[in-house]
Chains A and B, each alone.
Chain A
Amino acid sequence: MKRKTFLLFVGPSVFMMVLFIAAPLLSVLWQSFHVTQPVYERVEVETCTPGLLGSVCETSLKTRPILDESGKILTETAFVGFQSYRNVLEPEKLRAALKAGSWHEIMNIRFWSALRFTLVFTVLTLPLVLGTGFLIALAVNNTLQRIKGPVIFVSLLPFIITPVIGALSIRWLFIGDGILTAGLEWWLQKDIAMFAQAWTIELMIYIYRVWHVAPFAFVVFYAGLQTVNKDAVEAAIIDGATRWQRLRYVIVPHLMPLVIFLTLIHLMDAYRVFEEIVGFSASAHVISLQWLTYEFLLQDGTGARAISRASASAILTMIGIAVLLGPPLRRVWREQGRGGTLV
């Protein structure tokens, strides 16, 4: 392709990437090193509020933001270096916990407990998603042509459902006397409370995510299976290869680029786990890094948000994703170098 044509094709995409990805990212990076605060004044304010038994008036010293001429809250911005990162990471507490050698204490620091869950979630669901997706793909590939359509449709359903809605519907199956909890209670003859302890909630979260994204892996693998070289498989059969050996030495190597593709996508998605925490009301027991960012962004009673800590937490999440993606990306890089293609 000519250089000019190439640029014309790539141009709009690059422009969009800069506008919607690079620029916001830079702004988040900038905000994580700065703190913007309203300028406050202390003033005597008389407040009259309705009590049940008549108006109550009181005059008190209130901290109130100063407004500028246009009626906006006057703010000032200061460079704070790594302060927001320190506030998120709480290194002093971490050091103390490490010195005491107490895993429990480390887990009591919000960031590190969120990191623990996020990593376990990402690493644990990855093979399950790949495995389940692959099994469904093999199964569908081997079903009768006639029912393939409906089977594919049904297998895809969980992926079509909006994540929060999916999580909520599973929550309703289990919460309180939800039908599945009631069913389990009847079957096991004992009282079950799925939302009362961390491990049951975590388990539901893992199962939910695998249920939700395995169909994506299935579609990709299923497409891959259609491109397996039939001659190679026939040759293997003639050579006396068993079903397992054909799978192991012909089909799986052929699908390897897809495995890497799915791994990349899943690592990126799973590290940003968030909907499950909301859907399962898990925040009392387990939180994820993305939830932590959200919590900083949430308005408190003052109407203020902790933007700087939220930015720091977002940047840390991004660094985490970059670290996780390192190994599979290096592999792709090497294969590209050898002249292979990803997909």
Chain B
Amino acid sequence: MRMKSILLSGVLAATANFAAAHCHNDVPVKTISNAFPAYEIMTAAMQACGNVESELDKDHRLKIVDAFSANPSLYTMTSLTNSTSVPMIDADLLRPLDDLVAAHGGGLNKNQFIRIDGKIMAIAAFANTQHLMYREDILNDLGIAVPATWDEYIAAGEQIQAAGVVDYPIGHYTKDGWNLAFVFVNHYLGEGGEFFNADWTPSINNEKGLAVLERMAKLATLMDPEYLVSDTTFVTKQMQQGKIAMANLWASRAGAVNDPDESSVSGKVVMAAGLRGSERIASTIWWDGWAVAKNISDEEAEAAFKLIVASMTEEIVMENNDDAIWLAPGFVPGDAAKGAFATAAGDAPPYPMNKYIGSMHGALGSGLAAFMTGDKDAATTLADIEAAYVSDAKEKGLL
């Protein structure tokens, strides 16, 4: 992984000369971040300033707590989201950035700051959510209206399947573990479900939970039978290779599916709002950005912060407008951002920022596959997941 990241960052550094003129960095800085186009762009911009070593890793969230607990921290800064910020802030591993914002952050938008009790703990770069992406040509040919709800989506999928124009009508990030659990979380919120009772005991074994499982089973019949190994990158490729007609996918991939260099169907994929459950849109709003380690010197922190600013200048945002829903100045929402904005303008909630959902997400991740493979019925699955959550939360001192 390490070698790959280094090689990757080398390639990126070579292609990213656009930011070189604006910054210069002398202090060695090490970044770790998630790996998808927006982060590739930002880390490349940082590297153009010099002395930056970047590690891009889809599983970075499993590393950062331990890496930042070390003194000195193993990385100078990390990418962060609503979800990954919880353990980092709880363990007090991030440096408050107020002084650095005052000194160097004049060019940032006010709504890029993540404030906890008034202190700026992270700088958001872009927002992310999940929304519908569909092949306009296929839906037009078959005379299918653009689905707005999951039920319409399934109906459309069945029609496309019957017509047999693609291998599988839909793709979905249903890889066993975090992804599969995330699908459930979104759908359950879309049904208006509450994950917990007032005392944080679980409450998913109810009609809403059952309805979600029923829908997930239906969706599975419209997907590649190997859907339990399908993550976001897998779905993006399916879309790019023209194997699927529709997907409810992360907004951060909206640029890639229409990228003429990668996609055989570029220009044919259209973005629309996240699909609705029976109560609201079954998507969650995320923010993605950067945070600086606490256990490093002030000099390093300052260098890191300047690099963060340099990675999201107006120029960079404008040049890569369609690769993310940028929060930094310079962003003009284009066709690629249509779906995300429609989702946000709707009633999609933010992904919860608390510890309990972390434990619940884990229990869902190891418990849902048994239902999808047919080993357990829906009620048993939900009861078992609730039990797993209780024993996990108890062991971790949360209940």
Chain A residues packing against B (C-beta within 8 Å): 35, 37-40, 45-57, 62-65, 67, 71, 73, 84, 87, 104, 107-108, 110, 175-176, 193-198, 281, 283-285, 295, 298-304, 306, 308-309
A299–B229 CB distance below 8 A: no
Instruction: Give 8 CB contacts A-B under 8 Å.
Output: A40-B397, A45-B116, A45-B117, A49-B114, A302-B86, A303-B86, A304-B358, A306-B392
Q: Mark B310-341, 1 if CB is under 8 A from A, else 0.
A: 00000000000000010100000000000011
Interface membership of B303, Cβ < 8 A: no
| Complex contact A107–B375 (CB within 8 A) | yes
Contact A303 B228 (CB under 8 A): no
- 11 additional A-B residue pairs with CB within 8 Å, beyond A47-B114, A87-B391, A110-B366: A37-B397, A49-B82, A49-B114, A49-B353, A51-B127, A52-B285, A56-B350, A108-B375, A197-B373, A283-B369, A302-B359
C-beta contact mask, B33-57 vs A, less than 8 Å → 1, else 0?
0000000000000000000000000
**Contacts A301-B357, A303-B65 given; does A73 touch B90 at CB 8 Å:** yes
Cβ-neighbour of B112 out of A50, A87, A295, A299 (below 8 A):
A50
B372 interface contact, C-beta 8 A: yes
Cβ-based interface call for B135 (8 A): no
Contact, CB under 8 Å: A306 / B395: yes
Q: How far is the CB of B90 from chain A (nearest CB, A)?
A: 5
Complex formed: what's the CA distance from A51 to B113 in Å? Answer: 11
Within residues 255 to 291 of chain B, which ones have a CB less than 8 A from any CB in chain A? 285, 287
Known contacts A284-B228, A308-B395; decide if A51 and B87 are in contact (CB<8 Å). Answer: no
Report if A52-B226 is in contact (Cβ < 8 Å); known contacts: A37-B397, A67-B92, A108-B370.
Answer: no
Contact B116 A50 (CB under 8 A): no
Q: Nearest residue in A to B398 (C-beta to C-beta)?
A: A63
Query: What's the least CB distance linking B392 to chain A, in Å?
Result: 6
**Known: A49-B82, A52-B340. Contact between A285 and B111, CB under 8 A?**
no
The answer to whether B226 and A175 touch across the interface, beta carbons within 8 angstroms, is yes
| B226 and A285 contact, CB distance less than 8 A | no
Complex Cα–Cα for A197 and B369 (A): 12
Q: Which residues of chain A come closer than 8 Å to B376, judged between CB atoms?
A: 108
Residue of B nearest to A63 (CB): B355
Residue of B with least CB distance to A61: B354
- Residues of chain B within 8 A (CB-CB) of A302 are 86-87, 90, 355, 358-359, 396, 398
Contact across chains for B350 and A49 when beta carbons are under 8 A apart: yes
Question: B172 in the interface, Cβ–Cβ < 8 Å?
Answer: no
Which of B340, B345, B361 sits near A301, CB closer than 8 Å? Answer: B361
Contact B226 A47 (CB under 8 A): no
B163 within 8 A of A: no
Taking the complex as formed, is B118 at the interface, i.e. its CB lies under 8 A from any CB of chain A?
A: yes
Which of A47, A55, A299 sits near B116, CB closer than 8 Å?
A47
The reply to whether B358 and A176 form a contact with Cβ atoms under 8 Å apart is no
Residues of B close to A64: CB separation below 8 A: 90
Is residue B224 within 8 Å, beta carbon to beta carbon, of the partner chain? yes
- Shortest distance between the CB of B327 and any CB in chain A (Å): 5
Are B127's CB and A52's CB within 8 A? yes
CB contacts (< 8 Å) of B114 on chain A: these are 47-50
The answer to whether B341 and A195 have CB atoms under 8 Å apart is: no
Which residues from chain A contact B83 at a C-beta distance below 8 Å? 301
Establish whether residues A73 and B176, one from each chain, have CB atoms under 8 Å apart when the complex forms: no
Q: Of residues 50 to 76 in B, which have CB atoms within 8 Å of A's CB atoms?
A: 61-62, 65
